[in-house]
């Protein structure tokens, strides 16, 4: 029986540090499973274990702490990249027997990747991993499921019990329904998507919403024009923050934190525990700005900005129980 479910969700445009948060929670809590509910190899999570950096794309961060790690039915799986990642984790001493794939997950094949490169990459700035064409085939009911391709030893028996952590991919503003369509991903990034794992909504107890103290965006989106890459101050902030995509290697466009959007994403996700990452980067940069009520606000110190953030969020997001300002790439 499922006794408790916690969910980690990105509150922005992805790249918020969800992998770090998932790894930290797995290390400090007694979870029986860690599960991904959406996306594929278009995600990129960076995790530190014993001060060594690891990067994953498909496999949930529970693998780093010897916890069964499930790639759920709402995910899309590139077989070649899955095996590459399994080999990478095995060569680094992790127990890959803990990795299981839902038989209902859909498989990305070479034609999907070809279509992505020719039809989607230039106009939408996709990762060229065949994600959208694969989901399109799934919706058209002509897709290929993992049960038809992967060996039985890799397939999940679709049973969950005990204490479960669900790891999101991408973020709220890349959601297929809630994002700036069509400049979105092709799956559900909001926490209710975790229920596709076979989880009753009533079992969800905590929703860990993850953001950064400034915003970044990979890919094409009119909300993040290319001119942001030419802004000297924002470019300098992105350079200090090492804002390079884990999956694509592309330089991310950097923008001041949009508190209006953050408050909205906290509200629609039902976030109970908020983690705002990269405070150490902003402290090092020494310029403290955010967007609120559609205007750019400046602060004299990080403490002033932190106080403003906390008061607005607590006032407008009554479901929030805690706010954590994280200053480390290795732990919350």
Q: Cβ atoms within 10 A of the Cβ of 45, count?
A: 26
- Taking the C-alpha atoms of residue 185 and residue 41, their distance in angstroms, rounded to an integer, is 12
| Selection from 91, 11, 97, 83 nearest residue 54 by Cα | 91
Question: Tokens at residue 218, please?
Answer: 């990979």
Q: What DSSP character marks residue 296? A: E
Q: Cβ atoms within 10 A of the Cβ of 145, count?
A: 16
Question: Tokens at residue 107, please?
Answer: 């498989």
Cis peptide preceding 182, ω within 30 of 0 = yes
| Selection from 209, 207, 184, 186 nearest residue 195 by Cα | 207
List active site positions.
15, 45
Contact call for residues 314 and 263 (beta carbons, < 8 A): no
| Cα–chain center distance at 182 | 19
First-to-final CA distance of the chain: 30
- Taking the C-alpha atoms of residue 242 and residue 211, their distance in angstroms, rounded to an integer, is 16
Q: Cβ atoms within 10 A of the Cβ of 139, count?
A: 11
Instruction: Please state, in angstroms and as integers, the Cα–Cα distance from residue 151 to each residue in 41, 102, 181, 228, following that order.
Output: 20, 12, 37, 46
- Taking the C-alpha atoms of residue 275 and residue 63, their distance in angstroms, rounded to an integer, is 22
Instruction: Please state, in angstroms and as integers, the Cα–Cα distance from residue 121 to each residue in 127, 132, 189, 249, 301, following that order.
Output: 7, 11, 20, 14, 40
């Amino acid at each position: 029986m499922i006794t408790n479910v916690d969910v980690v969700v990105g509150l922005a445009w992805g790249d918020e540090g969800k992998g770090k948060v998932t790894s930290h929670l797995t290390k400090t809590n007694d979870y029986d499973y860690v599960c991904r509910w959406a996306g594929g190899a278009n995600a990129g999570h960076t995790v530190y274990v014993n001060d060594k950096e690891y990067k994953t794309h498909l496999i949930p961060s529970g693998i780093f702490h010897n916890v069964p790690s499930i790639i759920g039915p709402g995910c899309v799986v590139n077989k070649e990249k899955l095996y590459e990642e399994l080999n990478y984790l095995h060569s680094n001493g992790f127990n890959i027997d803990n990795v299981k794939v839902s038989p209902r997950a859909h498989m990305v094949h070479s034609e999907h990747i070809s279509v992505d490169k020719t039809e989607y990459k230039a106009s939408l700035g996709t990762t060229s991993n065949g994600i959208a064409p694969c989901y399109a085939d799934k919706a058209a009911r002509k897709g290929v499921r993992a049960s038809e391709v992967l060996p039985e030893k890799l397939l999940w028996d679709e049973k969950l019990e005990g204490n479960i952590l669900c790891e999101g991919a991408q973020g709220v503003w890349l959601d297929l329904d809630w994002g700036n369509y069509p400049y979105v991903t092709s799956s559900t990034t909001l926490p209710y998507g975790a229920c596709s794992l076979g989880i009753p909504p009533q079992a969800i107890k905590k929703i860990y919403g993850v953001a950064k103290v400034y915003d970044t965006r990979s890919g094409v989106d009119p909300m993040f024009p290319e001119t942001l890459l030419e802004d000297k101050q924002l470019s300098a902030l992105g350079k200090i923050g090492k804002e390079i995509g884990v999956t694509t290697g592309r330089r991310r466009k950097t923008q001041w934190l949009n508190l209006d959007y953050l408050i909205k994403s906290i509200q629609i996700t039902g976030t109970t525990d908020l983690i705002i990452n990269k405070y150490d980067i902003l402290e090092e940069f020494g310029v403290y700005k955010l967007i609120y009520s559609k205007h750019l606000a400046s602060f004299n110190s990080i403490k002033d900005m932190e106080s403003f953030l906390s008061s607005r969020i607590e006032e407008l997001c009554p479901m929030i129980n805690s706010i954590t300002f994280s200053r480390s790439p290795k732990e919350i």
